[in-house]
Chain A
Amino acid sequence: MSPVTEDRNEVLLAARGLKKHFAVKGGLLQRTVAKVRAVDGVDLAIRRGETLALVGESGCGKTTLGRLLLRLIEPTEGDVLFNVPKGAYERIREDGPHVSKDDGQTNNLVRQYSMTRLRRRSMKSLRRFLQPVFQDPFTSLDPRMLIKDILAEPLIVNRIATRQEAYELGAKQLQEVGLRAEHLYRFPHEFSGGQRQRIAIARALVSEPEFLMLDEPTSALDVSVQAQILNLLLDIQQKQGLTYLLITHNLSVVRHMADRVAVMYLGRIVERAPTAELFGNPLHPYTKALLSAIPVPDPNRRRERIILPGEVPSPINPPSGCRFHTRCGFVLVNCGWSPRDIATMAAHLFDPSRNPEAAELSQLDEVVIQGDRLLLAYRAPATEVQRERVEWLVRARAALPDGIRFRAIQNVAVDDGRIALEFLHPVEPPLLEVSTEHVVSCYLYPTAEVPRGN
């Protein structure tokens, strides 16, 4: 059954347990040596007529998610649902992919609305409703095509109109975005950045879509031109009732444009809320850091800055537990500390030749990470006395102000002549609804009791 119907259902697009892993090939035989988890389990609904903003640093997977939602690339796992009635979406969502309840009815529902299970041909009939606008208008327009051909191509390819009609519609659309008919017979290089972005928007609009994916539509533009483009987008949305997915790292634009915001970090959504709620009461420490990074255009106002240390970790091997804990300023014991967070430090701390406090131990041969345990292999088999010494060192280190990662060590045991430091099993904090529509994945907010206001 095709999801293309005349019904205009509430949820226009939805991601259900969506994953995209890119393979890293290496070695002589080009075997897959690692997987880049660009998008790693995302649930997201875009309602008809709204603007949903997707925010995060570069490398967090927001562009990949945008491309998945348009099915420009195929997901590794999960589904993209199209045009789902609210009731059906609630049912699919309730027994979501994380609850493994293999219920035939749910599966049927998913199959009914899934866009990613469609065949090529039926997908093609959908494409005209879902259009992208890309970041860099200097590379997204074909330099060898005239503007009239650029604008007519979507209509001709999708067989919406005849060639003659297509040119007429394209010319009409060009005027809609604030350019003149005389611009039709020019090449893209003759335009400024702002004008090119207008052309890219016109090309997206010409097939009368319902949904636009705006991938950083203004980040390559000047501040003054940015305002013009945003005005144009708002105007079009009001006139035609479009649905937008706005992908950006500029939170000021988000506040102006979006109805709801989803914050993404390393392939996961960490917070989702209506715009006013997110800006008034940001909960996740990452959101707070993003908000504080916006420069304030007022020299007399100084704001407390949260400068995030370091960079986004590699999505090939993301941190365990909460993925943000390595850069977070509010870490708790259960945020997901794992043996690899202390491996290098341990090699110093428990080595008698480096740390005089560990002098009683025999020579440290090896430090091994084994699941949630860190094994210290000494030259002589470990004894109870040594175990106590290591435990004492761990406690001493944990008592220091920055000893949080050592506080996550639950137990020090002797295992097969080696000393094992056992960590709390890292569990990713679930996305919990703390207030209406405000969802956050962070251990700081275990229940619905949330500090209000500032």
Chain B
Amino acid sequence: MEPILVVRGLKTEFTTSRGILRAVDGVDLDIGKGEVLGLVGESGCGKTVTALSIMYLLAQPPGRIAGGAIWFRGLNLLAGSEEDIRVRPRSKGPPKLIPSDSHLKRHRARMNKIRGRGLSMVFQEPMSSLNPVLRVGYQVAEVIMFQRRREICDRILSRRNLTPADLDLFRLAMATADPAERERLVVDLCAGSGLPPDKVNALIDASGLDIEERIQRLQRLAPRHRFGDRTWPRFLKHLDALEEAHFAREWAKLSRQSVGQAAIDLFDPGKNPVARDLPPLASVTPREESLALYFRSTAVREKRTALEPTEGLRAAVEQLLRDSAKGPFGVMFADVESVTLGKNAIELRFPARPPFHLGAELDYWSRRVIYRILLTIPLLRSQLMRPVEEEARRDVLQLLRLVRIPEPTKVYDEYPHELSGGMQQRVMIAMALAGEPALMIADEPTTALDVTTQAQILWLLKDLRKRIDAAILYITHDLAVVAELSDRVAVMYAGKIVEDAPVADLFREPLHPYAQGLLESIVSTETRQLEPGAMLPTIPGTVPDLLNPPSGCRFHPRCKFAFARCQTEEPMLLSPVPNRKVACHLYDKEAANVPGH
């Protein structure tokens, strides 16, 4: 499966008054296209911090991503963020954190482009993530106006007149008695023609009027291209396109610069077994549009001599890129255009970037400033954004229908407190889906809900999986929910992944003692016939304090299989069985003869 998100050795820490708290300590995750990965663990295991690190939504300071890489569709999300906070040690007290504004701002702006359209997130408490003073519909529309403005402007510009098919829809809507069916027809009619739904509804309900009269009024409503209505959307669209191009260029530049480390991993036989037959890499030099690879000879006597690249080596490198294109390290080299023999080096050439026009760029920034100033004036803002907002409204109604909210036109104008918890969570899901993301992170979306509402939301997510093309990272502490929804499960404990397995395998035979304990402690009505009133098996103890984690395997104080080695040596995430990984000494081949299991 093609991976869309690859996390390698992610480390996130928080500076507290009692020292540095490593909430996430070397997490590796892979999520394939369209895959649902369940991330499970008790509270305080670092699940949410992992999600926030991926989204780059951590409060910084006190939080800080201390290491690792997050590759999303071939882009390093952390590129350019390394400089955002400089840590200056002090002789007394905690180190001083100095934010570096310009880097921070540029990286933030880039992340804003990724968030929503590439990655989106559904939070645990819908009531605290929705703005209580804004109407629900506007909050969803805002997302669309921000993320898909170009598309919306396009649609305003290509707005068509009413067709006979639209009029038939209107007739049908008037004739149907079922409110849900009528709602569906109205939304269809409005999405196609660009009519405001409230006016269409008013016309349908105008019982005093003759049918023909109502159709005439509808037609009169339709041609809405008033003079000057089109210049503003065109300008906005232009601005958006320029902005997009600008950020695309910057991303490409940064990603290229950060591709060096990826190349080292790619040619390291320890990490990428395909690279076994190649000579060791001496150094990597990233350049503007290419990457130069220097190799050294393997012969022992000529230890430090550079290897003169040959045609055979070039072919081998090309082959390696092809072989590992699907792997986690090859993703970043997917767009390599050619592999050529250079002077003393092999050059990976990337596609050339579009030429840079200084004039257009200057013009763009001055226009952008004008636009920003204009939009700070509330009256102007509401006037200028009105056509965009009206257009976004149609998209919102479609989205609300997608997440199965009944009567979307009514819900659009309601405030969050007027909706139930389940409906609020649906609105949050609609917002997350508004940018058509490639990966949706759902952070305990059903924990605060009733069992029946949880069933509704889970059913909705399952249904959405079929209809949208998004991968889901589902964070929860309830393994039963994971069993319902996900393809693969990663179990997290004290900031580390301890087990990663396909869902069926994990539930059939959990390997890590922590995963075993979690599975046993589920109170279930169906799978295990437990004597009612009998004691439930539990995991003794609690999640350790991450300021001072236990030595060796972090689970050893609570583990019933722990032996001497667990206290001193930290287990690696290894793969004893194909397709699954576990970090436990019990499954280490060297320790196979250790008693206790």
Q: Which residues of A contact B (CB under 8 A)?
A: 57-58, 192-195, 222-228, 230-231, 234-235, 249-253, 255-257, 275-276, 279, 289-301, 305, 307-308, 310-311, 344-349, 351, 353-356, 363-364, 397
Contact = CB atoms under 8 A, between A and B. Distances in A.
Nearest to B204: A354
Nearest to A344: B179
Nearest to B421: A58
B547 to A, nearest CB: 14
Q: Is the interface of A mostly helix, strand, loop or mixed?
A: helix
B536 A293 contact: no
B503 interface: yes
Given A256-B536, A308-B452, A223 B207 contact: no
B521 A223 contact: yes
Contact of A223 (B182, B450, B452, B479): B479
Contacts of A307: 455-456, 459
B538 A224 contact: yes
A195 B537 CA distance: 18
A222 B42 CA distance: 6
Contacts of B43: 193, 222
B222 interface: no
A77 B383 CA distance: 57
A300 B421 CA distance: 30
Given A295-B454, A297-B519, 12 more contacts: A224-B42, A226-B521, A255-B532, A256-B533, A279-B525, A290-B451, A295-B458, A297-B480, A345-B177, A353-B211, A354-B204, A356-B175
Contacts of B509: none
Contacts of A275: 532
A224 B532 CA distance: 18
B423 interface: yes
Contacts of A234: 533, 535
Contacts of A355: 175, 177
Given A293-B455, A310-B406, A311-B422, A298 B483 contact: yes
Contact of A227 (B211, B479, B536, B543): B536
B517 interface: yes
Interface in B512-565: 517-519, 521-527, 530, 532-533, 535-539, 542-543
Interface of B: 42-44, 174-179, 182, 204, 207-211, 406, 420-423, 450-456, 458-459, 477-481, 483-484, 503-504, 507, 517-519, 521-527, 530, 532-533, 535-539, 542-543
28 contacts: A57-B451, A193-B43, A223-B477, A223-B479, A223-B521, A224-B517, A226-B523, A227-B523, A227-B537, A230-B523, A249-B450, A250-B451, A250-B523, A256-B533, A256-B536, A276-B532, A294-B451, A294-B526, A295-B483, A296-B484, A296-B527, A298-B507, A299-B483, A347-B207, A353-B174, A353-B210, A355-B175, A364-B207
B288 to A, nearest CB: 49
A184 B441 CA distance: 41
Contacts of A344: 179
Nearest to A192: B542
Contacts of B478: 223, 295
A230 B536 contact: yes
Contacts of A230: 523, 536
Contact of A289 (B452, B480, B503, B504): B452
A251 B477 contact: no
